Amino acid sequence: MKSRIERQGQKADARLALKNAGHRPVASNRRAFHEYDIEEKLEAGVSLTGPEVKSLREGKASLQDGYVAVTGGEAWLWNVHIPPYGAASYNNVDAKRNRKLLLHKREIVRLASKIQRSGATCVPLNLYFKGARVKVEIALVTGKKLHDKRETIRRREADREARAEMKSARRR
């Protein structure tokens, strides 16, 4: 039987491992990389309830139609779907509710001015755990035209072929 001190040491080790685990991805908006040109990325915290965090720990979330809006001097994450946690009772909230982003005031002001001035949009790219905290990577983006999308696909295929050729050349 383990002593109380040994159990406390194990708990501390587990907490430290969780904190140093780095980025543990939950959801990614892969469609945004195809639909938009990414100009600038930014990391933000997200204000969530307990059951929402537990649902994210199960790996359930969708960033598909999500976007960021600045209203009243605060940044809000809209249309991000975090399904209700199954074991929670009355604490569950609406799956698509607006969630407040935790950013510095100067970041919010800069974000709002770039959205208004340049006509850019702000979308979430990734949702992940950084230690025990939930973070979202947001980006200022502009929409791609159809020919831009085709050019991106063409460039990606050319890079893939070049890597395959280099790999086969090394094996010879």
Q: What is the pLDDT of residue 11?
A: 64
The Cβ of residue 159 has, within 10 Å, a number of other Cβ atoms equal to 10
Does some domain include residue 96?
A: yes
Does some domain include residue 149?
A: no
Q: What is the pLDDT of residue 49?
A: 85
- Adjacent-strand bridge partners of 94: none
More confident position, 154 or 91: 154
Quick one: which H or E segment has residue 24? Answer: strand 23-28
SS3 category, 133: strand
Is a pLDDT exceeding 70 seen at residue 91? no
Of 124, 122, 123, 100, residue with least CA distance to 111: 122
The Cβ of residue 32 has, within 10 Å, a number of other Cβ atoms equal to 20
Q: What is the pLDDT of residue 137?
A: 94
Q: Find the domain containing 88 and state its range.
A: 21-144
Q: What is the pLDDT of residue 92?
A: 73
Does some domain include residue 163?
A: no
Please state whether 154 falls in left (phi above 0), alpha (psi between -120 and 50) or beta: alpha
Does some domain include residue 95?
A: yes
Domain count for the chain, please give it: 1
Does some domain include residue 136?
A: yes
Quick one: which H or E segment has residue 19? Answer: helix 4-19
Q: What is the pLDDT of residue 138?
A: 94
pLDDT tens per residue across span 11-63: 666 665 555 556 778 888 888 888 888 888 999 999 988 888 888 888 888 88
Does some domain include residue 122?
A: yes
Of 117, 11, 100, 9, residue with least CA distance to 49: 100
Residue 101 maps to which CATH number? 2.40.280.10
Whether the predicted model's global pTM rises above the 0.85 cut:
no
Q: Of all residues in the chain, what percent carry a pLDDT higher than 70?
A: 86
| Radius of gyration, CA atoms only, the chain | 21
Of 38, 36, 37, 56, residue with least CA distance to 46: 56
Does some domain include residue 8?
A: no
Does some domain include residue 36?
A: yes
